[in-house]
């Protein structure tokens, strides 16, 4: 992939979303593995299938390549800060010369989000058949989401399930709380059936935070969502997409 050259100033009032087919990424797995830190190489060993291990390595190589580009440094030997739930960040992310980021991958697709304007979370899921979809909805969706989902026609339930699920996952990733925050305690629906943006308020550790959720459909057959700290109207911040098939 030939990357356009971007700097931190290009992120002013923007969120950049990179979506890449890892199987077609022009870097060999063994070359990428040598460049990422030892801790990430060790994590890659948890994957038994070689293709999954290679995708993990390429995804983290991609993330560090992009961070290095924005920050104007060689980022391959830099260490992330991890909170108690395992969310990675830069140690100085609140500095004016720093960056907020998040990464997700499903199958062969990796998506990375970058912004300077506050915490961000992104999630992507391959839309596929699930035999336990109804039980997951009953357990993890809020009562209003459950009612809404059950009222949908059968043919649209699968796509809607993954749309709701990625919104929830993106929010939890932006909050940096993992699954410690109950999925059924907040709604990711809007008043309009087809709305692609939702504003919600969460309360965690005695603090209230407002968030904006946006659907970001990039690849056919995948659902994806973005969570941004704060309430944002449709045109602020601007989303810019960079995609490689």
Write down the pLDDT at residue 204.
76
Q: Are strands 238-244 and 14-21 parallel, antiparallel or unpaired?
A: parallel
Q: Looking at the domain assignment, is residue 2 inside a domain?
A: no
DSSP reduced 3-state for 234: coil
Q: Looking at the domain assignment, is residue 6 inside a domain?
A: no
CA distance 3 to 173: 26
Q: Looking at the domain assignment, is residue 232 inside a domain?
A: yes
Q: Looking at the domain assignment, is residue 28 inside a domain?
A: yes
Query: Residue 106: which domain range?
Result: 13-244
CA distance 216 to 197: 10
What is the block-wise mean pLDDT of the chain (245 residues), using blocks of 10 residues? 85 94 88 92 93 95 95 91 89 81 96 94 95 92 92 92 94 88 86 71 80 90 93 75 84
Give yes or no for a cis peptide into 237 (omega within 30° of 0).
yes
CA distance 18 to 1: 11
> How many structural domains does the chain have?
1
CB 97 within 8 A of CB 8: yes
Q: Looking at the domain assignment, is residue 182 inside a domain?
A: yes
Q: Looking at the domain assignment, is residue 86 inside a domain?
A: yes
Write down the pLDDT at residue 137.
94
Q: Looking at the domain assignment, is residue 121 inside a domain?
A: yes
Q: Looking at the domain assignment, is residue 155 inside a domain?
A: yes
Q: In what order do the strands lie in the sheet with 109-115?
A: 100-106, 109-115, 14-21, 238-244
CATH number at residue 222: 3.90.470.20
**Beta-strand (E) ranges in 28-159?**
81-82, 88-89, 100-106, 109-115, 120-126
Write down the pLDDT at residue 200.
83
Q: Are strands 88-89 and 81-82 parallel, antiparallel or unpaired?
A: antiparallel
Q: Which residues contact 122 (CB under 8 A, 6 or more apart)?
A: 17, 102, 103, 104, 111, 112, 113, 170, 173, 216, 224, 225, 226, 227
């Amino acid at each position: 992939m030939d990357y356009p050259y971007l700097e931190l100033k290009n992120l002013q009032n923007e969120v950049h979303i990179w979506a890449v087919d890892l199987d077609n990424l022009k870097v060999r797995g063994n070359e990428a593995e040598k460049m990422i830190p030892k801790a990430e190489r060790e994590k890659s060993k948890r994957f038994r299938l070689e293709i999954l291990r290679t995708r993990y390595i390429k995804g983290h190589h991609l993330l560090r390549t992009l961070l290095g580009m924005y920050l104007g440094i060689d980022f391959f030997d830099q260490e992330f800060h991890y909170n108690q739930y395992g969310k990675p960040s830069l140690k100085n992310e609140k500095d004016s010369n720093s960056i907020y980021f998040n990464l997700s991958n499903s199958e062969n697709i990796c998506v990375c989000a970058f912004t300077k304007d506050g915490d961000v979370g992104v999630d992507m899921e391959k839309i596929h058949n699930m035999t336990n979809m109804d039980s997951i909805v009953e357990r993890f969706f809020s009562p209003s989401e459950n009612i809404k989902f059950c009222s949908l026609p059968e043919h649209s339930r699968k796509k809607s399930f993954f749309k709701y699920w990625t919104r929830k996952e993106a929010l939890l990733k932006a909050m940096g709380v993992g699954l410690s925050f109950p999925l059924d305690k907040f709604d990711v629906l809007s008043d309009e059936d087809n709305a692609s943006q939702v504003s919600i308020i969460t309360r965690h550790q005695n603090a209230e935070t407002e968030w904006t959720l946006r659907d970001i459909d990039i690849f056919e057959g995948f659902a994806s969502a973005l969570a941004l700290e704060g309430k944002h109207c449709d045109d602020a911040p601007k989303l810019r997409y960079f995609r490689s098939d």
